[in-house]
Each structure stands twice: as C-alpha cells, then as structure tokens.
C-alpha cells in the first residue's frame, strides 16, 4: 500500500472539541447591540426569556472565549463527529489545477447537514430548563429535520412551520421531519395571526423564511410552555457551529497544509461562521493569512448588495432589531432551489467581520452553482446540497485562477450538506428548467424603503 495518496484526514472521537469558540472577545470592535422592537432600547436578557432558555440567552451575549460543550451534547456529536476533512484529489485532477482543494464534509450528520451541530445543544439547554415543546420554521427542510431529530434524541416535542413552496416541492423532507416525530404545518398558515394576515393579502402566498419565523415566534410567545429555536443568524447558533472550524484546523495540520483561501456559502451565515471563525481568530492574532470568502446567491445578495442597518429578522416584525446586511424584511427572494440561502438578512456577526475587512463577499448565479455541483459530484461522488454548490463554484473558480496564474494555492471550503433530498432541483437543472435571477433592484429598493427608523 506504500505510496497511496491520502484522501481523508480523520480525527478520533476523543478529538471532538471540548468547547465552542466565541470570537467576540477577539474582535477589534464589539457588535452593535440588538434592540427591542417596541422601545428601540438595547435588549436585556429578560426580553428574550419568553422565547429562549436563559443558558442560550447568556451565550448570545457572552464575551467568554471558550464555552464548554456539555458532555451529553459531545456524546451525541460522537454519532457523526469529528466530520471528515477530504482532499478533493479527483476534482483537482479533473480541473488540471496545481491548487490543493480540501473540503470539510458536514453531510455525514444523520440529518444530512451542519444544522444538527446546533439543533442538539439547543434542544439540550431547553430540556435542562424544563421546556417540553419547541416551535421553529424551516425553509428547505434541513433545519426542520435537524431540530426534529435532536428533539427525538432528547424527548422534546417539536412543531415546524415549513415554507409553503418547500412543503409542496419537498414531500420527502417533510416525511423525514414527521418520521422523527415532529409536526409540520405549511406556512403561511391559518394557525397564527401573522399567517392569517399574509393569507388575507396573498391567498396564494408561497411563503418565505421571514413569514415562517413570525409564525413560529408567535406560537412560542403566546404559549409559556413552548420555546422557539432558530437554525441560523443568532450568535449562539454560530457559536455551536465552531466545532467545524476547530476540527478543520487540526485536520489541516494533520495534512501538513495551511489554507490560502477559506470559502463557505452564506444564507443566514451559520455554516460559514462555523468553519471560518476559528480561523479568523488566528488571523486576528497574525497566525493565519488566508483570504476568507463568503458566497451568496445573486438572487438574494444581502452581503454584496444589501444595506448595513437595523432590521427585523422576520416579516411580521415580532423579532428584535439586529444590525446586519439586509435586503429588507418584506423582501421575498426569488424561488431559487438553494432554499437555505433565501433569507433577507445575514448574521450580525458575519455582517460585522465583513465590515471589519476580515472577510470578502461574492455572489454566484444559480446555473453556475448547479454546474459546479454536477462537476463536483462526477469527480468526488457526493451530490451536494444546492446551497453548498455556491461554495463549490467559488472553490472551482479559485482553482482555475491558480491554474491560469501557474501558482499553487491551498483551498478549503465547507461542504455544508448532501443533496439527497434535493434531487428534484437536479432533475430540473438537467432538464434546462432552472434560470438565473438578476438582482431584483426595484423590489429590494421597495423593501429597503420600509426599514425601521432607528435614531
Ligand atoms: C441551511 C443551510 C445552509 C444555509 O444556512 P447558513 O446558516 O448560512 O449555513 C447552507 N447549507 C446547507 C446544507 C443548509 O442546510
């Protein structure tokens, strides 16, 4: 077997990180505080208590660099973690590039994506504080299946508002969520005031993440026994994802390599933050010199074309105001197949590191993303989630640039999930039914005109 090329850089179960990494104390400037939607004053911990357990609220504002991962959560992580770091040797050969390409593969989680990394601790902390019911929303269905699975593991019950378009297009995701014992309702629904208000105006509404969030928050706010869980955007969610980057740092060192560029796709920003924050922590200390690139869809370009402003996280304006790159909370993104990237805003933390110049942002069109995903699948044998195709497209672009320039380059990207439940989008792509969407300038201008006035 001498001379075999290494493909996987695996860590033993004992190397699952002991703590999540919080970048806040290492940043040169603090984050702008979230504001109460009524008073416009900075939010206190008690304002969030109707929705979240206190342990997660404290993580949301923590300035501790390391936050210990509870032993039972690490034990559940061991079901699929540490996830593999894979050298894409066959893709490198197919591209005839001198670049070395590595990907961290989060599709090995039983829910099929990185989302389980936060679903498990969120369910666990809720359980510790005696909560028995969680409500949430899901766009493409990945977050709904992750939270449903975590709730099944920990004995909680789970109610999921699923964006109407996905509910209709993705019956298998819905079936998976139900198999884990959660209930699924198409959003907008008649169960909530926010849902009914949308349906009164738009009876055929296909829904959006912003609308589904309003419904799930409303249910939790009105029922003292129910808490709310969010799959992205918030600091504590991004924090839980940092197991990805911490493992990747160890694995790149096993490979004897250092990344020159680190890439992730961004919807709400959690898988991207999970991979890159531990590297950014090193970058701030001068121990990492990589370019860090966030990739978003051209149809929903919050980082590259949105405004940095206080905005609501949802369409019904029930959530606190957070300062982020936003396209306006009433913007309903075009129906691209990367459902997990169809969100009007961006994590405040990811928005902040872009503003600080630590991260660059770029965008990819839908057809280019799918072309990259197919090329990747034929070389590496993994069918990627449509969201992850955006990261792959940028990785391939970088590898071809290295080839054109005749230099070597080490590329690391996050393969945030597999696409086994998204095959309809691949069928549509192969049949030539998908289209590119240009930046919907007028619609976004209209949505931005409605930004809340914050002094
Ligand atoms: C949800 C999801 C995304 C987008 O969400 P982020 O919070 O930006 O990570 C990306 N990839 C996959 C596979 C997802 O499920």
pLDDT tens for 93-105 read: 999 999 999 999 9
Q: Which atom of ligand 1 is nearest to the CA of 271?
A: 9
Q: Which of 191, 261, 195, 175 is nearest to 226 (CA)?
A: 191
C-alpha 165/C-alpha 204 separation (Å) is 10
Q: What is the CATH number of domain 71-112+234-450?
A: 3.40.50.1100
**pLDDT band at residue 330 under the 50/70/90 scheme:** confident
Mean pLDDT for 343-366 is 96
Mutate to test the pocket of ligand 1, among 108, 416, 417 (most ligand atoms within 8 A of CB): 416
396 lines ligand 1 (CB under 6 A): no
Contact at 8 Å (CB) between 375 and 96? no
Q: Which atom of ligand 1 is nearest to the CA of 270?
A: 7
416 lines ligand 1 (CB under 6 A): yes
Cα(387) to ligand 1 centroid in Å equals 6
Contacts of 40 (CB under 8 A, 6+ apart): 321, 454, 455
Cα(417) to ligand 1 centroid in Å equals 8
The residue among 118 and 455 whose pLDDT is bigger is 118
Cα(99) to ligand 1 centroid in Å equals 26
Residue with tokens 């949308």: 198
Q: Which atom of ligand 1 is nearest to the CA of 146?
A: 15
**pLDDT band at residue 2 under the 50/70/90 scheme:** low
Give the residues across from 113 on adjacent strands.
417
The structural domains of the chain, with segments of one domain joined by +, span 71-112+234-450
pLDDT at 6 over 60: yes
Structure tokens at 51: 């929705």
Contacts of 120 (CB under 8 A, 6+ apart): 73, 76, 77, 150, 153, 154
Mean pLDDT for 317-338 is 89
Nearest-CA residue for atom 14 of ligand 1: 340
C-alpha 406/C-alpha 111 separation (Å) is 40
Contact at 8 Å (CB) between 218 and 205? no
C-alpha 162/C-alpha 147 separation (Å) is 13
pLDDT in tens, 59-104: 999 999 999 999 999 999 999 999 999 999 999 999 999 999 999 9
Q: What is the pLDDT of residue 444?
A: 86
Cα(340) to ligand 1 centroid in Å equals 5
C-alpha 322/C-alpha 329 separation (Å) is 11
C-alpha 211/C-alpha 194 separation (Å) is 7
**pLDDT band at residue 318 under the 50/70/90 scheme:** confident
Structure tokens at 1: 């077997």
Nearest-CA residue for atom 10 of ligand 1: 387
Q: Is the peptide bond before 188 cis (omega within 30 degrees of 0)?
A: yes
Cα(342) to ligand 1 centroid in Å equals 10
pLDDT in tens, 244-265: 999 999 999 999 999 999 999 9
Contacts of 222 (CB under 8 A, 6+ apart): none
Write the DSSP symbol of residue 65: S
138 lines ligand 1 (CB under 6 A): no
pLDDT in tens, 123-173: 999 999 999 999 999 998 999 999 999 999 999 999 999 999 889 988 999
341 lines ligand 1 (CB under 6 A): yes
Mean pLDDT for 398-417 is 97
Mean pLDDT of the chain: 95
Nearest-CA residue for atom 5 of ligand 1: 267
C-alpha 247/C-alpha 78 separation (Å) is 13
Residue with tokens 């989630």: 385
Structure tokens at 177: 């969520």
C-alpha 297/C-alpha 286 separation (Å) is 31
pLDDT at 333 over 90: no
In SS3 terms, 148-190 reads as: HHHHHHHCCEEEEEEEHHHHHHCHHHHHHHHHCCCEEEEECCC
Q: Is the peptide bond before 82 cis (omega within 30 degrees of 0)?
A: yes
pLDDT at 431 over 90: yes
268 lines ligand 1 (CB under 6 A): yes
269 lines ligand 1 (CB under 6 A): yes
Question: Does the predicted model carry a pTM greater than 0.85?
Answer: yes
pLDDT at 220 over 80: yes
Mutate to test the pocket of ligand 1, among 110, 268, 269, 347 (most ligand atoms within 8 A of CB): 268
Mean pLDDT for 9-19 is 97
Q: Which of 183, 302, 170, 284 is nearest to 233 (CA)?
A: 302
Nearest-CA residue for atom 3 of ligand 1: 340
Mean pLDDT for 298-312 is 95
């Amino acid at each position: 077997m001498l001379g075999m090329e290494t493909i996987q850089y695996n860590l033993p179960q004992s190397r699952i990180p002991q703590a999540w990494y919080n970048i806040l104390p290492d940043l040169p400037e603090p984050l702008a505080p979230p504001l109460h939607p009524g008073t416009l004053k900075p939010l206190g911990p008690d304002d969030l208590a109707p929705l979240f357990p206190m342990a997660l609220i404290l993580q949301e504002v923590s300035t501790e660099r390391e936050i210990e991962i509870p032993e039972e959560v690490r034990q559940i992580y061991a079901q699929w973690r540490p996830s593999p770091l894979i050298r894409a040797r066959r893709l490198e050969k197919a591209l005839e590039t001198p670049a070395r390409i590595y990907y961290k593969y989060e599709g090995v989680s039983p829910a099929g994506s990185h989302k389980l990394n936060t679903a498990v601790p969120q369910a666990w902390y809720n359980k510790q504080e005696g909560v028995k019911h969680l409500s949430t929303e899901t766009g493409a269905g990945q977050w709904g299946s992750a939270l449903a699975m975590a709730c099944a593991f920990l004995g909680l019950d789970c109610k999921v508002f699923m964006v109407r378009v996905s509910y209709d297009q993705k019956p298998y995701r819905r079936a998976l969520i139900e198999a884990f014992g959660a209930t699924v309702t198409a959003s907008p629904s008649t169960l909530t005031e926010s849902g009914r208000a949308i349906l009164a105006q738009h009876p055929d509404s296909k829904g959006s993440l912003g609308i589904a969030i309003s419904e799930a928050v409303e249910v939790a706010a009105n029922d003292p026994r129910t808490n709310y869980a969010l799959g992205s955007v918030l600091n504590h969610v991004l924090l839980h994802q940092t197991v990805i980057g911490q493992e990747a740092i160890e694995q790149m060192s096993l490979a004897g390599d250092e990344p020159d560029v680190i890439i992730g796709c961004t919807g709400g920003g959690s898988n991207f933050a999970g991979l890159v924050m531990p590297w950014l922590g090193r970058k701030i200390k001068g121990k990492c010199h990589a370019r860090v690139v966030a990739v978003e869809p051209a149809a929903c370009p919050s980082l590259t074309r949105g405004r940095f402003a206080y905005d609501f996280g949802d369409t019904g304006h029930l959530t606190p105001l957070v300062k982020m790159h936003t396209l306006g909370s009433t913007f309903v993104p075009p129906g691209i197949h990367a459902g997990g990237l169809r969100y009007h805003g961006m994590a405040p933390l990811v928005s902040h590191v872009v503003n600080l110049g630590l991260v660059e942002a770029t965008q990819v069109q839908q057809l280019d993303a799918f072309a990259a995903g197919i090329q990747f699948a034929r070389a590496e044998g993994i069918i990627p989630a449509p969201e992850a195709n955006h990261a792959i497209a940028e990785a391939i672009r970088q590898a071809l640039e290295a080839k054109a320039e005749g230099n070597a380059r080490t590329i690391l990207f996050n393969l945030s999930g597999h696409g086994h439940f998204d095959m309809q989008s691949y069928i549509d792509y192969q049949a030539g039914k998908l289209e590119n969407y240009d930046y919907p300038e007028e619609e976004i201008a209209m949505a931005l005109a409605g930004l809340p006035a914050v002094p």
